[in-house]
Amino acid sequence: MLALQLTITGLQTGALYALTAVGFSLIFGSTRIFHFAHGATFIIAAYLFYFMDISGYGLFLGIVAATAGAIAFGLLLNRFVYVPIQRDEGSFFTVFVASFGIGIVVENVVGMIFGRGFVTIQTPLSFSTEVMDGLFIAPLSWISILCAAAFFGILWCFLKFSHMGMSLRALADNPELVRVFGLNPRFISACAFTIGSILVVPAAIISGATSGLNPAMGHHVMLISLAATIVGGIGSVTGTLLAGLVLGLAESLALLYVDSQWTEAVTFAILFLFIMLRPSGLLGRSAAH
């Protein structure tokens, strides 16, 4: 029964990991921008929702504010940091450092406003009920899994059928060709940032209610997103989704054998094994070099 309980918790965690990681993977896969401040987007969305919640604006306005904040942050960062850097040279390292610096700024600004401790978004949805003998499930578990399924369904249709979705995939394959075709790569990049930032919002809000928030958790979010992107295979949205679920399940099921402080070590072990044995990931096409 414990194993089943942990599997369900793991699926819930995995669904949230997958949402965050796919956001990063989509941005990185199509624009090749190493968006390390993705963790900061998570923090901004989560704390905006938390702020709206404690000020009593209600669920809907909270979601709107979190989404708007996440999109605005993604787009502004792209416009005022990544675009100027890429105009000159745009090596992986320069983009990474700039993005990392912005992440530090966000973490500390949020820490100064809301304090450095853990805060939790209060909701009756996080109370568990006994579904079966010894099996406790909170409504939020179903909400996160359904939410992830819905978002991925929409994303899949979007990438597969819409014109912009095709352009995104084209940009990932060959940016030169996109330019030759008369499409505007910069506009497509902005779309990638919008979608990638939106995907973070549900994960940020639900995590805030289940496991709580603190300003420094951006690094953890980033480790998970990076791990899922690499384990899934860079450039593969489906791979990242699978990897996110696997990482969530593995972290949760590991509790059968080790104490909870080792869960991040499990993520790291999986990532390390993949880097050593299969750098192209589960569904990736190209090798690491």
Partner 1 sequence: MEAYLLNLVILISIYSILASTLNFIMGYAGIYSLAHAVFFGVGAYAGTYAAMHVNASIFISLPVAMVAGAVLSLILALPALRVRGEYFVAASLGLQVLAVTIFSEWKSVTGGIGGLVGIPPVNVAGLDIFKPGQFVFLTLAALVIVLIIINRLVHSSFGRSLRAIRDSESAAAAFGKNVPLIKTISVVISAALAAVAGVMYASYLSFINVESFKLDTSVLIMAMVIIGGTGTQAGPIVGAALLLLLPSLISYLDFLPQTEIGAIQQIIYGLGMALLMIYRPGGIIGRKKHSSAGKE
- Residues in contact with partner 1 by CB under 8 A are 28, 34, 81, 84-85, 88-89, 91-105, 107-109, 111-112, 219-220, 222-223, 226-227, 230, 234, 261-262, 264-265, 267-268, 271-272, 275-276, 279, 288-289
CA geometry: angle 161, 167, 172, nearest 5 deg:
115
What count of Cα atoms within 13 Å lies in the side-chain half-sphere of residue 78? Answer: 26
Helices (H), 115-256: 139-161, 163-173, 175-180, 185-210, 218-232, 237-253
Which residue, 147 or 227, has its beta carbon nearer to partner 1? 227
Which residue, 144 or 207, has its beta carbon nearer to partner 1? 207
Would you state the structure tokens that stand for residue 166, as one six-digit string? 């095709």
CA distance 47 to 127: 21
Which residue, 188 or 226, has its beta carbon nearer to partner 1? 226
Query: Closest distance between partner 1 and the C-beta of residue 22, in Å?
Result: 16
SS3 content of the chain, % helix, strand, coil (to 5): 80, 5, 20
Which residue, 108 or 174, has its beta carbon nearer to partner 1? 108
Residue in the block written with tokens 């853990």: 118
Which residue, 230 or 242, has its beta carbon nearer to partner 1? 230
Query: Closest distance between partner 1 and the C-beta of residue 220, in Å?
Result: 8
